[in-house]
Chain A
Amino acid sequence: MEFFGKIGSSVEGSLAYVGSLTSLAGRAAYFTFIGPFQGKPLRFQRAVSQAMEAGVRAIPILSLITFFIGLILALQAAYELRRFGAISFVASAVALSMTRELGPLITAVIVIGRSGSAFAAELGTMKVSEEIDALETMAINPVSFLVAPKFVAMILMLPCLTIWANFMGILGGSVFGVLQADFTFPRYIIASLDALFMRDVVTGLIKSFMFGVTITAVGCLEGLNTTGGAEQVGRSTTRAVVMSIFLVILVDLVFTMLFYFLGEH
């Protein structure tokens, strides 16, 4: 009996957590899309600086990692394909798995590590040093001032980064294609593009948009829920990273299933 009670309370806890994530994302969406029409201007400059930090500064490390991932994918795919003499399919294998799955996912994981954790640490520190309280006493809404610009930055930058990641992955794959599979570079790129349908790219981008919402909501919520001192800020940051990765995978699963069943018809 106690066992079921535990299951019940943990399900309740999870639902409450998802509820507060949705509520935070909803308030941020309000200040992004509706607030500006009610005389509460969007903090555009803050959004731009967040976009620089979360997006533009992530490009070097993202490029390197997704380049390697593309190369790894090519090697792994070729390992199986060459037994069937189908090594020329390596281009389409890499292109499809990058755009549909690994591009958005790897981008999300890198952004969690760089920005999701930073959001939690920043807001957590602000919370424990009473800066969030200070905003409230100054009649400045913390969600509007701190969270909304992060949302704007992330939902714009994550799809952009994903496109870049897809490209770098294909580039990584082409190294193998050119050196080992008798492709010339232009032919490899053409083969990749031929394998892709618009649908593949778009499903990846829809996922990355959802990942952006998830990462920001978790990072900011964990930050805002910090109580106590410096030690708790560290704990919030850890929780933000672990929870973001878990939820991103969950969102990925849900959307992949959705696209799979929608694609049947």
Chain B
Amino acid sequence: MALSVDNLGLDESFDGPMISLRDLRVSYTGREILHGINFDVQRGETLVILGGSGSGKSTLLRTLVGLEQPTSGEVWIRGKNFSAISEVERDEIRKRLGMSFQGGALFGSMTVGENVALPLQEHTKLEPTTVEIMVRLKLDQVGLSGFEDFLPSQLSGGMKKRAAVARALAMDPEILFFDEPSAGLDPIIAAGIDQLILELKKAFHMTIIVVTHELASAFLIADRMVLINKGDVVALGTTEEMKNSKHPRVRQFLDRIPEPAVAQELDYLQMLTEPSSKSGEGRQGKSR
């Protein structure tokens, strides 16, 4: 499926978990943001990472694509330990990942077409005419046909996001990451992006990781969800399991209860149930 030119020992028929996190810890300037995250993502699965602002969900996503280094623990992507392999091997894996950034992160000095063409030009030996066709195909896929020659600054917010998805799709990735796909978009455009994610999931059997705090969109696209709070996994489960969860943090998040109302209850519950509440795994177990 992937267009990669060389393939440095990457097993094409790999069927283990696409992503596997083992006691992942990440610190910024001495302060630990993620306190030991554990979960697996299977091929073809759509996992939504939920969490409030400052919960560490964006840091988690950045660590998954290799933009942040874990202080300890491991990130396994396609059966390779992402932080223990060489730069060359890491790049080889990155060619199979696509990332759509929150603001699009399109290169402002290049047209939409050039943006989508860039990974193809850099990593494949395709003829310029073939690249052109691929670009048109990808833009078509996200509903932006005919916008090749537009500059990102000429596009609306929703179109920018779509263009960014087209660029992320350029190399036919096996895993697609979305950072806040519907942030800053009106409900109709946001629904369009959700629809696009669902189409990608159905048509290409892609593994998709979405970071968001939009509940409606999360329940629509997710197979499983993970709720992150203050750097710990609070709950992990299917959308049904999450809906029926009794965990106070999950309830707070899903029922949109403001902080102070639940804080006391939470402390009380923690005191009763968890003598050692530091481990993310412990909480995860109980919440299921």
Contact residues of A with B, CB < 8 Å? 125-126, 129-131, 133-134, 136-140
Contacts and interface: CB of A to CB of B under 8 A. Distances in A.
Contacts of B99: 134, 137
The 10 closest A-B pairs by CB, nearest first: A139-B91, A139-B94, A130-B105, A134-B105, A137-B99, A130-B101, A138-B119, A137-B65, A131-B105, A139-B95
Nearest to A43: B122
Most B CB contacts (10 A, CB to CB) among A125, A131, A134 go to A134
B102 interface: yes
B105 A140 contact: no
Interface in B62-114: 62, 65-67, 90-92, 94-95, 97, 99, 101-103, 105-108
A131 B67 contact: no
A133 B118 contact: no
Contacts of B97: 137
B122 A137 contact: no
A223 to B, nearest CB: 14
Interface residues of B, number: 23
Contacts, number: 50
10 contacts: A125-B108, A126-B108, A131-B106, A133-B62, A133-B105, A137-B65, A137-B67, A139-B90, A139-B123, A140-B118
A131 B167 CA distance: 12
Interface in B134-192: 167
A129 B67 CA distance: 14
B66 A136 contact: yes
Contacts of A131: 105-108
Contacts of A138: 94-95, 118-119, 122, 167
B118 A136 contact: no
Nearest to B107: A131
Nearest to A134: B105
